[in-house]
Structure 1
Amino acid sequence: MTTKLRVGLIGAGAISVQHIEALLALGAEIRMLRRTDAPVLAEAYGIEIVDDLDSLLDAVDVVDIISPTRTHPGIALCAIARGRHVICEKPLAAASEDAAEIVRAAAGAGVRLFPAHVVRYFPEYWRIKQAVDAGEIGEVSELTLSRVGAGPTAAWFFDESAGGGLIRDLMIHDIDQALWLAGPVASVSAIQTPPSTAGVAPREVTAVVTLTHRGGAVSRIHGGWLGPGTPFRTAIEVIGTTGRLHHDSADAAADGYLPPAADGQDPYLLQLADFLSALEAGTDARILPAEAVDAVAVVDAAYRSLATRAPVSF
C-alpha cells in the first residue's frame, strides 16, 4: 500500500497470530477490539486495544473479522453501515441468507468485502487451479479432497447452532475448492460419523460430502476432527479427461490445528496482500464475495442432507 492502512482486528482466537503477523508485514497499523485474549496479543505485538466496536470503527479504514462465525453478520453489517471495508474469515456467515445480506449491504454501501478463504492462496492449490484453467488435464470429471487433523479446543466450533460444525467450519475450505475447480453444483449429499446430538458435533468426528456438479463432474470431500496430537493433513486429486493433478501434505511439517505452509510462502500473507492490493487498485481479489455465498449455500445443503438422509438438489 502507498499509505499506512488502519486495520481493526476483531477476534483473538487460533488464527489471530497469522492475521496479525501478515498485516504487520504488509505495513498496516492494527488496533484490536478488546476480547478475552486480545490484551496478551496486543502486548506481544505492540497493538493498541480499543474497548468497543464504535470506537474501533472510528479509528480504522478496514475491519478484519476473525471472531466466531455467529458474530460475523452483526459485525460486518455494522462496519459496512459505517463505510468501512471488511475482511471476514470463512465462512462469511453460518447461513447463506445472512452471507448474501452482507454481500448486498457492501455493494449498496460501495465498500469492499473480502471473504478469507485461505486455501485459495496455498501455492499447491493455486497451481492446480491454474493448470485446470489452462486445460492441462482436459475437462474435469472427478475431484477427491481431504482435510483432517486434531479438533479445535473451543466449544463453539462443535455447536452447529452457534455457527460451528465440522462441515461448516473445516470442510468449507474444500467445498470452496470444488466449486472453484468444477463449477456450480446440481446436488449435495452428506454423511457424518458419529452424528451430531442436539446440534452438537462429537469431539471426534468425520464426514463425507459428495457434490454432483452441473457440468457432470463429481467431488468427494472428506473431513475429520480427530484426537489431540493428530497431524494436520490435506490432500487433493483432480482427474480430467486427459490427465491428473495431485497434492498431499503428508510429507510436510504440520503445526497442530493449522495446515503446513508451502514452499516457504505464508498463505495468510499472500491472501491479505491480495486483499490490500485489490483495495488499493480497485480490482478483484482471488475470491469474489458471491463465491463465498455459494460455498455457504452448499454447506447449508449438506446439513439439510444430514437431516433428511437424502441428497439435496439445487
Structure 2
Amino acid sequence: MTAVPTISSPAHLSSPDGKTAMTHTPLRIGLIGAGGISHSHLRHLLTLGADVYVYSEAGAAELVALYGGTVVDSLDELLAAVDFVDVATPTFTHHALVKRALEAGKHVISEKPLARTDAEVDELAGLADELGLMLFPAHVVRFFPEYVLLKEAVASGRLGDLAVLRFSRSGAFPTRTPWFADRALSGGIIMDQMIHDIDIARWVAGPVERVSAVSSHAGDATTPVEAAHVLLTHSSGAISHIAGIWGPSHLPFTTEYSVTGTEGSLAHSSVAERNYISHLASTDAPSGLLPEVDPAENPYFAELREFTDAFGGGAAPRVSAAEGAEAVRLANAALLSLETGQPVDIESPSAQATGK
C-alpha cells in the first residue's frame, strides 16, 4: 500500500509567545453499523489515522475488538463525540440516520444507495446543501482502476462518441441478511448491486432520458437466484445495457464491461483467465459477496481517503450527493419499469447531476 497520510483537521492553539499557532488533530469520525461492510470502513478509517467511535444495536464491541476504535452506547453519544459520521447500515435505515447526522451539524459519508426512495434521497441532498454540509455516497466502483481507466478514456476522447456500453456484475445472493430479499427494503438486485453500474454508465456516458428493465427469479428461499437487465438510453443517443446476477453462495464475484465508440472500444473482464464454468458445481470457491481487490491500492481505502481528505479541507471527491441521488432515481425508474412492463422516461435529463 502507498504511504498513508494521517488525515487531520486544523485547530488553533496559543503558542508560548502568545501568538496563534496552527496544529492538527485527528478527525473524529462516528461509524454507525457493525455489519459486513463496516469491517472495511473501520479498518481503513483507523489506517487513515482517524479517531473512530462505533455505534450499533449489535456487534459494535466485537467489531472494535477486532480492529480498534471506541464503542459508544447510543446514537446521541456518538453524535456528541464526533465531527463526521459514516453510515454503514442497511439501505432502509440510511435516510433516518443520515438526516439525523446532518441535523446535528455533521458531515456524512453514507454507504450506497444514499436512500431507498426518490423523496428520501432528494430530502437528504437538499438538506446537506441547505446546511452547507458535505454528504458523500460510497459509490466505490468509481475507485476501481478498471473503471477509472474507462472514465479517463472517455473523457480524453480516445473512444470518440459513445455508442454502446455493456456492463455486467455477478455474485452470491446475500441470503445471510434477509432484508436484501425484500425489494421494499433493499430495492433488490437493481438498487443494491446494479446501482454501481447504473452510476458508472451515467458517469461516463452522461444524462439518461429513458430506462427500461426486466428481471427473473429461480430457486427457492434457501437457494435463490435473481437476474435483471436494465437498459439506459442516454441523451447523447448512447445505449447502456446493464446485467446483474445474484446466484448460489459459491458463485464468485465478477465484473465485466465493453464500451464502444466511434473511435475505438475498451473492455474489462475479471473472469477473462478463469474457467468460469467450473464454479457452477463447486461449493469450495471463495464467497461471492465482495470483489477481489488489489491490496496495493484497495479501492475501499482510496474512497475513504478521498472523502476524509475533503473533510480535512482537501479537494471535492469524485462523487457528489447529487450524483448519488441521481443513481437512486435511475434505479427506482428501473424498478418502476419492472412493475409496469413499460419504459420510464426521465424528466429533464439536462438537469441531472453532471459527472466529474
Determine if the TM-score, normalized by the shorter chain, exceeds 0.5: yes
Question: Any idea what SS the aligned residue of 2:336 has?
Answer: helix
Correspondence 1:82 to 2:114? no
Q: How much has 1:51 moved relative to structure 2? A: 1.4
Instruction: Give the distance between the partners of 1:87 and 1:16, measured in 2 at CA.
Output: 12
Greater Cα offset, 90-99 or 159-168: 159-168
Correspondence 1:184 to 2:216? no
Instruction: Give the distance between the partners of 1:229 and 1:255, measured in 2 at CA.
Output: 6
**Residue matched to 1:311:** 343
**Residue matched to 2:258:** 237
Match of 1:211 among 232, 237, 242: 232
**Cα displacement string for residues 96-125 of structure 1 (whole angstroms, at most 9, x for unaligned residues):** 221111011111111111111000000111
**Residue matched to 1:225:** 246
**Residue matched to 2:269:** 248
Q: How much has 1:36 moved relative to structure 2? A: 1.9
Question: Any idea what SS the aligned residue of 2:26 has?
Answer: coil
Question: Any idea what SS the aligned residue of 1:257 has?
Answer: coil
**Cα displacement string for residues 207-253 of structure 1 (whole angstroms, at most 9, x for unaligned residues):** 00000111100000000110011110001111110100111111489
Correspondence 1:167 to 2:199? no
- In structure 1, the gaps of 5 or more residues are none
- In structure 2, the gaps of 5 or more residues are 1-6, 9-24, 275-284, 347-356
Instruction: Describe the shift of the 1:150–1:163 C-alpha distance in structure 2 as closer, same or farther (beyond 3 A).
Output: closer
Question: Any idea what SS the aligned residue of 1:19 has?
Answer: helix
**Cα displacement string for residues 273-304 of structure 1 (whole angstroms, at most 9, x for unaligned residues):** 11111222253210011111110000111011
TM-score, normalized by length of structure 2? 0.84
Q: Report 1:44-193 matches (<5 A).
A: 44-152=66-174, 153-193=176-216
Q: Which amino acid aligns with 1:144?
A: R
Quick check: which has more Rg, 1 or 2? 2
Q: Which amino acid aligns with 1:9?
A: L
Instruction: Give the distance between the partners of 1:239 and 1:263, measured in 2 at CA.
Output: 30
Correspondence 1:294 to 2:316? no
Match of 1:274 among 282, 298, 306: 306
Instruction: Give the distance between the partners of 2:230 and 2:55, measured in 1 at CA.
Output: 36
Q: How much has 1:41 moved relative to structure 2? A: 0.8
Deviating 4+ runs (over 3 angstroms): 251-255
Give the total of aligned pairs: 311
Identity %: 44
